[in-house]
């Protein structure tokens, strides 16, 4: 088969399975995750193309994005019903509370880095 | 949200309704209530034991304060004390921007960015808190007693960590072991105001948070461990151990098939927050993201993300996964190789293999003299394992065996920590400090497991033995084993106390010996010499000495020094070494170039103090020779290759500045009635050259027992 047909068939299968298996709440998390990823890539491209002069500012921005990405992925993991046996004793409210705490720590430090 | 929440609400409401309806007189207290009492008793015992451990850990470390006085010991603590005074009296801004002109004479040192500020910040915080509540405790006392205070904290976090990895009983035993283990006491006595005082607490704290996070999968514990890691990076350069151990642990877990979402959450959260926090310390700076010693963490982080993404894709793509994988791998691999090559070419990633870190990975390649000369960086002799750990060193492998049997996340972590710590403990004497806590934890696991088995037998005999005789026999055996452990614990306490008292409580700046009639003789020569410098020299006088005494001189005599214990500039130290090893004229030329006003040497031949400069003299020669080729070590050894100071010494040796300064006028002194004048009591020989005059320097001061000798550099004579 031609490579494009291959790629398209993979993409279609993925989209179908994703739409079926993911609840709307998790889709919100995924949208957030995609946003952070694109933002981080944008920052990286900027650093490569234009230069890294205030390097601490670049690190601050990059870590803020990567960090929120990781935290949202973790939140999504803890929220997905399939994973509940692994996270005994953590209710969804607990998860969100921890998420906010980590976000506060991360963003506070990132703003400090941006100088 | 709706589904899960509702279920929980239903479950909570229903039982309450049932109970009130069915309550009758038959509802006697059930066994669970008895257990409740038992667990309150347990909690009380735990609090009591931990409270007593705080007191014990604090009191055991007070030997030198009781024997001498509350002073700062050794060398490095004096610099830390000076830095703390700057922080407390001048403020945080001044501390972070402090450029010290009093050290490394023509160069100075930017202290704010070349020091780990955690220790000073902790002392400053405690000092300001105490003063806020109107307890006017002097900063010196805060610094002296900081280490014993944190020893109790270490016991507490060791208890929590071992409780998470095993159980509460093992936790209590581990806390008791670590409160008095000599390996930890050696660097945390009262007066030893060094980074390790808080660093060991910070390490166990970080590990505790991480293990809790891996066990529960919660992000708040990962955030806690990241904040604890931030404190650790501020505290000690040994944070490199944590940032390499945790990736190794995570990688190991993935390899043996124990990847779980909890592990992912714990490590990823820790990595992101921890790296960001470690960038806060100016000394680390951007090395946290660039240096090759820190590269293990992001690599394992990427591996975890990759693993997670693969799982996600497998769930959604099913059989299409292999096809997708093939396409992506080729695309990504070429991309990754290109990026890595670009990084190498641009110099972004540094792949040199020198320095202290790589010495620890390959101890045989010990070629840099300045690192080789430090006594605590030598390989550990086997006897110091028993000296520092007592019988824990025998129980540690047993604990490892039980961890292998148990095979939970926490047990595997203790294994990883224990094996790596053992390796580093074998490389350097100083690193037994890192081994001590984990040896306590593993030994506690062994003790707890064994004792719980035998104590149960001692109470009611073995279940399988129906026969009364064999029942009694197994009871007796169990009691014997329990008694044996009791004896071992007593022996451990006696051992630790004796070692703390004899070996680890000397301030190094005050010496003590027993006189002929058994009376105590105190040698306070170091402070006498430094105080003379402070009161009899000009404010801007520059003092030259070997780097060992730099910190103490800067702290106690408050004068400018040339080189000190922060051996960051090898060439400068080599210049001083060359100066001490040259003849008087060459030395005078170098001293004039460096603006030296006074020279200080430490000489032990009068009283028999063996850590003096003549015994160390080969190191200045070697370090000087590593930079200046005219200084050759074999010139200072005689024809037979021996290092001697008597008539058999080499000519170069007897002409050197160090020899002259140490033995000036020593030829007239009778130190012992069985020998002629000029008998050196450390080298046990009469010195080779007794009467010589000094032309370029003159003796300024010699302390009571000839230990510290200070010379003034003469000005050049006026012409005409």
Which among B227, B272, B313 is the nearest to A67, CB-wise? B272
B157/B24 Cα distance (integer angstroms): 46
B163/B43 Cα distance (integer angstroms): 13
Q: A85 in contact with B at a CB cutoff of 8 Å?
A: no
Alpha helices in B349-466 (DSSP H): 356-361, 369-372, 383-389, 392-406, 409-427, 432-460
Percent of chain B with pLDDT over 70: 87
For testing contact with chain B, the best of A74, A93, A113 (most B CBs within 10 A): A74
Pairing of strands B598-602, B542-544: parallel
Which among A59, A89, A109 is the nearest to B216, CB-wise? A89
* pLDDT, tens digit, 9 for 90 and up, residues B230-263: 999 999 999 999 999 999 999 999 999 999 999 9
B317 vs B270, more confident: B270
A66 contacts in B (CB within 8 Å)? 272
**Size of chain B, expressed as the number of residues it contains:** 720
B619/B597 Cα distance (integer angstroms): 24
B59/B491 Cα distance (integer angstroms): 19
Can you tell me whether residue B165 is helix, strand or coil? helix
The neighbouring-strand residues paired with B544 are B599
Can you tell me whether residue B73 is helix, strand or coil? coil
Contact (CB, 8 A) for B550 and B564: yes
Q: B12 in contact with A at a CB cutoff of 8 Å?
A: no
In chain A, residues 7-26 whose CB comes closer than 8 Å to chain B? 7, 9-10, 13-14, 17-18, 21, 25
Q: Do A102 and B269 touch (CB under 8 A)?
A: yes
Q: Name the nearest CA neighbour of B663 among B587, B611, B603, B586.
A: B603
Q: B268 in contact with A at a CB cutoff of 8 Å?
A: yes
Q: Do B220 and A66 touch (CB under 8 A)?
A: no
B99/B97 Cα distance (integer angstroms): 6
- Both structure tokens of B283: 């000394």
Q: B5 in contact with A at a CB cutoff of 8 Å?
A: yes
Can you tell me whether residue B110 is helix, strand or coil? strand
- Both structure tokens of B446: 């062994």
Q: B516 in contact with A at a CB cutoff of 8 Å?
A: no
* pLDDT, tens digit, 9 for 90 and up, residues B299-355: 999 989 988 888 888 888 776 666 667 677 766 766 777 777 766 666 555 555 555
Work out the pLDDT band at B495, boundaries 50, 70, 90.
very high
Mean pLDDT of B191-208: 94
Work out the pLDDT band at B5, boundaries 50, 70, 90.
very low
* pLDDT, tens digit, 9 for 90 and up, residues B113-156: 899 999 999 999 999 999 999 999 999 999 999 999 999 999 99
A34 contacts in B (CB within 8 Å)? none
Pairing of strands B560-561, B542-544: parallel
Give the CB-side neighbour count of residue B716, counting CA atoms within 13 A.
11
* pLDDT, tens digit, 9 for 90 and up, residues A67-95: 999 999 999 999 888 888 888 878 889 99
Q: Do A105 and B323 touch (CB under 8 A)?
A: no
Can you tell me whether residue B52 is helix, strand or coil? helix
Contact (CB, 8 A) for B683 and B691: no
A60/A73 Cα distance (integer angstroms): 20
pLDDT of residue B717: 82
A33 contacts in B (CB within 8 Å)? none
pTM reported for the whole predicted model: 0.87
Q: What's the mean pLDDT when you consider all of chain B? A: 86
B331 contacts in A (CB within 8 Å)? none
Q: Do A102 and B217 touch (CB under 8 A)?
A: no
- Both structure tokens of B566: 């922060």
Q: Name the nearest CA neighbour of B77 among B434, B554, B575.
A: B554
Which among B8, B268, B324 is the nearest to A74, CB-wise? B268
Which among A86, A102, A110 is the nearest to B219, CB-wise? A102
Q: Which residues does A1 contact at the CB level (< 8 Å), separation at least 6?
A: A9
pLDDT of residue A20: 85
């Amino acid at each position: 088969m031609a490579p494009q047909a291959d790629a398209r068939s993979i993409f279609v299968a993925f989209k179908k399975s994703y739409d079926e298996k993911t609840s709307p709440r998790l889709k919100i998390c995924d949208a957030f995750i995609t946003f952070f990823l694109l933002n981080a890539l944008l920052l990286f491209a900027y650093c490569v193309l234009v230069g890294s002069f205030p390097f601490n500012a670049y690190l601050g921005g990059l870590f803020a994005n990567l960090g929120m990405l990781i935290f949202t992925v973790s939140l999504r993991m803890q929220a997905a019903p399939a994973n509940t046996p692994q996270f005994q004793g953590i209710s969804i409210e607990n998860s969100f509370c921890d998420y906010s705490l980590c976000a506060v720590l991360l963003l506070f430090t990132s703003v400090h880095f941006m100088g | 949200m709706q589904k899960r929440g509702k279920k929980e609400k239903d479950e909570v409401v229903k039982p309450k309704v049932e109970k009130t309806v069915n309550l009758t007189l038959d509802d006697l207290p059930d066994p669970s209530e008895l257990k409740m009492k038992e667990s309150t008793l347990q909690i009380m015992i735990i609090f009591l034991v931990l409270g007593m451990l705080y007191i014990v850990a604090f009191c055991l470390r007070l030997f030198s304060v009781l024997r001498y006085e509350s002073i700062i010991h050794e060398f490095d603590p004096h610099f830390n004390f000076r830095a703390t005074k700057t922080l407390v009296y001048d403020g945080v801004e001044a501390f972070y921007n402090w450029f010290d002109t009093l050290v490394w004479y023509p160069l100075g040192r930017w202290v704010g960015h070349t020091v780990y500020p955690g220790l000073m910040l902790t002392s400053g915080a405690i000092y300001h808190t105490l003063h806020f509540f109107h307890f006017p405790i002097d900063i010196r006392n805060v610094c002296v007693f900081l280490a014993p205070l944190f020893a109790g904290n270490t016991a507490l976090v060791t208890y929590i960590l071992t409780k998470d990895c095993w159980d509460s009983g093992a936790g209590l035993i581990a806390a008791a072991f670590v409160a008095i283990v000599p390996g930890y006491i050696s660097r945390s006595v009262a007066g030893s105001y060094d980074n390790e005082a808080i660093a060991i607490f910070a390490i166990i704290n970080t590990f505790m948070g991480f293990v809790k996070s891996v066990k529960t999968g919660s992000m708040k514990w990962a955030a806690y461990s990241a904040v604890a890691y931030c404190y650790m990076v501020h505290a000690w350069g040994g944070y490199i151990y944590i940032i390499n151990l945790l990736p190794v642990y995570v990688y190991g877990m993935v390899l043996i098939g124990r990847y779980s979402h909890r592990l992912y959450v714990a490590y990823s959260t820790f990595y992101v927050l921890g790296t960001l926090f470690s960038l806060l310390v100016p000394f680390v700076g951007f090395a946290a993201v660039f240096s090759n010693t820190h590269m293990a963490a992001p690599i394992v982080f990427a591996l975890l993300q990759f693993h997670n993404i693969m799982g996600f894709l497998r769930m959604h793509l099913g059989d299409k996964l292999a096809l997708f994988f093939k396409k992506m791998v080729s695309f990504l691999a070429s991309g990754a190789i290109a990026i890595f090559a670009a990084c190498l070419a641009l110099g972004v990633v540094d792949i040199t293999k020198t320095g202290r870190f790589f010495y620890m990975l390959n101890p045989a390649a010990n070629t840099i003299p300045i690192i080789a000369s430090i006594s605590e960086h030598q390989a550990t002799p086997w006897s110091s394992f028993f000296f520092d750990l007592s019988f824990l060193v025998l129980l540690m492998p047993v604990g490892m065996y039980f961890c292998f049997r148990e095979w939970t996340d926490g047990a595997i972590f203790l294994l990883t920590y224990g094996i790596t710590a053992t390796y580093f403990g074998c490389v350097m004497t100083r690193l037994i400090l890192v081994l001590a806590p984990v040896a306590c934890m593993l030994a506690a696991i062994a003790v707890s497991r064994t004792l719980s088995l035998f104590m149960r037998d001692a109470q009611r005999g073995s279940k399988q033995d129906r026969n009364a005789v064999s029942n009694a026999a197994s009871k007796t055996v169990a009691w014997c084993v329990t008694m044996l452990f009791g004896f071992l614990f007593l022996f451990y306490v006696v051992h630790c106390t004796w070692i703390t008292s004899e070996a680890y409580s000397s301030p190094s700046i005050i010496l003590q010996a027993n006189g002929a009639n058994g009376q105590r003789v105190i040698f306070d020569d170091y402070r006498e010499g430094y105080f003379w410098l402070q009161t009899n020299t000009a404010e801007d006088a520059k003092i030259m000495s070997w780097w060992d005494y730099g910190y103490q001189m800067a702290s106690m005599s408050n004068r400018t020094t040339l080189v000190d214990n922060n051996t960051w500039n090898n060439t400068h130290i080599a210049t001083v070494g060359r100066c001490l090893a040259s003849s008087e004229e060459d030395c005078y030329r170098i001293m004039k170039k460096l603006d030296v006003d006074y020279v200080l040497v430490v000489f032990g031949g009068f009283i028999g103090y063996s850590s003096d400069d003549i015994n160390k003299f080969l190191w200045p020669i070697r370090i000087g020779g590593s930079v200046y080729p005219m200084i050759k070590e074999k010139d200072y050894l005689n024809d037979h290759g021996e290092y001697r100071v008597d008539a058999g010494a080499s000519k170069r040796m007897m002409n050197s500045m160090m020899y002259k300064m140490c033995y000036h006028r020593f030829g007239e002194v009778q130190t012992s009635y069985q020998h002629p004048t000029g008998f050196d009591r450390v080298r046990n020989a009469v010195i080779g050259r007794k009467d010589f005059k000094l032309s370029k320097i003159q003796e300024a001061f010699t302390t009571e027992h000839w230990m510290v000798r200070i010379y003034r550099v003469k000005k050049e004579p006026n012409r005409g």
